Amino acid sequence: MQQLFPGEVFANTADFDTGIRQLLPRYDEMLEVITRCLLSPSGRILELGCGTGELSLKILNRCPNAQVIALDYSPRMLQFAQDKITVAGYQQRWAGTQADFGDWANNPGKLDIGSEFDACVSSLAIHHLQDEMKLKLFERIAASLSKDGCFWNADPTLPESPALAEVYRAAREEWAVQQGISLTEIRAKRGTSTTQGYSSQDQVATLDAHLEMLTKAGFKIVTVPWKYYGLAVFGGWL
């Protein structure tokens, strides 16, 4: 079986865009919430773990003058995203860099991407870091944002109890049945991920733990604009 970096999910990169929408309820809605929380239609936006470029594309569609600087450690994902952005005609407003954002959190000087970003975004990536590194990353993000800058993250969260975990699981299974989706077939397309830099298998934290980390990192306004069972969009402003 092909070995994957954490976050690649599927053995075939081309399966990701369809497969993730079948695995996760309301995937597009979740990403669109992030784009709506970017209140300025312009500015420099840093994306951590861009994957196949779906969030980048939504941002570039909604924010006509935004420049997106995207990081991902997977060359396969970056190429897929680059091709998608180019087809959409946004290649002048998007730059992809192969990098581990955990490494950036620890050694920001090694990566020549600048600072003073107007916003930072991420989706389905930061939950691969251990909690200590999540906090370091949030601190690095805060230090890299301009005054009044914002950060928004879409990620799975750890249920606060076994009972809630069962509620989340049942809701996901029922949603799949309603959509006519066979989760068994979709999961069969998944690959086995290996540790890459600071990222490994899912290391989810509770929503409260994330919000506490953001506050500790220096975010003055911390909020949750969207939540659907175990999925959440959270973040805030400096």
Q: CATH number for the domain including 19?
A: 3.40.50.150
| pTM passes above 0.85 | yes
Phi, psi at 146, each rounded to 5°: -75, 170
Other CB atoms within 10 Å distance of the CB of residue 196: 18
Q: How far apart are CA 171 and CA 193, in angstroms?
A: 26
Q: What confidence score (pLDDT) does residue 1 get?
A: 46
Instruction: Note the pLDDT of residue 221.
Output: 96
Task: Please report the pLDDT score of residue 186 as a whole number.
Answer: 67
d(C-alpha 1, C-alpha 4), whole Å = 9
SS3 call for 206: coil
pLDDT digits (tens, 9 = 90+) for 135-172: 999 999 999 999 999 999 999 999 999 999 999 999 98
Distance CA 9, CA 30 (A): 18
Q: What token pair was written down for 17?
A: 């865009």
pLDDT of residue 193: 56
Q: How many CB atoms lie within 10 A of CB 208?
A: 11
Q: How far apart are CA 193 and CA 69, in angstroms?
A: 25
User: Which positions of the chain have pLDDT values less than 50?
Assistant: 1
Say how far apart CA 211 and CA 234 lie, in whole Å.
8
How many other C-beta atoms are found inside a 10 Å radius of the C-beta of residue 92? 9
The neighbour count for residue 77, using CB atoms within 10 Å, is 24
The number of folded domains in the chain is 1
The domain in which residue 220 lies consists of 3-237
The residue whose two tokens read 């990403």 is 31
Residue 53 has phi, psi (to 5 degrees) of 90, 15
